[in-house]
A and B are shown apart, each in its own frame.
Chain A
Amino acid sequence: MTTQFVSSTTLIRALGLVAGICGIIIVGVYEGTLDAVNANKKIALERQVFKVLPGAKRVQAYDALPNGITPAGDRDAPPGAIRFYAAYDAAGKLTGIAAEGSSAGYADQVRVLYAYDPEKQVITGLGVVSMRETPGIGDKILVDQDFLRNFVALDVALTSDMKTLANAVKTVKHGTKANAWEVDAITGATVTSKAVGRGINQSAQTLLPRLVPHISQLTSRD
Chain B
Amino acid sequence: MNNETIANILLTTILPGNFVLAMFLGMCPFLGVSQKLETALPMGLATAFVIMVASISAYFMNLLLVHFHLEFLSVITFITVIACTVQLVEMFVKKYFPVLFRQLGIYLPLIATNCAVLGVALFQTARQYNFTQSLAYSIGGGIGFTLALVLMAGLRERLQLANVPTLVQGTAISLIVGGLLSLAFMGFAGIGAGE
Residues of A within 8 A of B (CB): 22, 26-27, 30, 75, 79-80, 82, 102-107, 109, 170-171, 190-191, 194-195, 198, 202
Contacts and interface: CB of A to CB of B under 8 A. Distances in A.
Contacts of B16: 106
Given A106-B190, A194-B193, A30 B8 contact: no
A82 B16 CA distance: 30
**B contacts with A: majority SS:** loop
**A contacts with B: majority SS:** mixed
B73 A109 contact: no
A61 B63 CA distance: 24
Contacts of B2: 102
Interface string B172-193: 0000000000000000011011
Nearest to A202: B3
A191 B8 CA distance: 13
A191 B189 contact: yes
A157 B12 CA distance: 33
Contacts of B38: none
B161 interface: no
Nearest to B5: A104
Interface residues on B, range: 20 to 34
B153 to A, nearest CB: 27
Given A75-B69, A103-B4, A190-B190, 18 more contacts: A26-B73, A26-B76, A79-B1, A82-B1, A103-B3, A104-B8, A104-B12, A104-B192, A105-B193, A106-B190, A107-B17, A109-B127, A171-B195, A191-B189, A191-B190, A194-B195, A195-B193, A198-B3
A184 to B, nearest CB: 15
Contacts of A104: 4, 8, 12, 192-193
A26 B1 contact: no
B96 interface: no
A112 to B, nearest CB: 14
Interface of B: 1-4, 8, 12, 16-17, 22, 69, 72-73, 76, 127, 189-190, 192-195
Contacts of A30: 72
A195 B4 CA distance: 11
Contacts of B189: 106, 191
A75 B71 CA distance: 11
Contacts of B69: 75
Nearest to A82: B1
A194 B195 CA distance: 8
B72 A26 contact: yes
Contacts of A82: 1
A103 B3 CA distance: 7
Contacts of A80: 1
A105 B195 CA distance: 13
A162 to B, nearest CB: 21
Contacts of A102: 2
A171 B193 CA distance: 13
A22 B3 contact: no
A7 B8 CA distance: 52
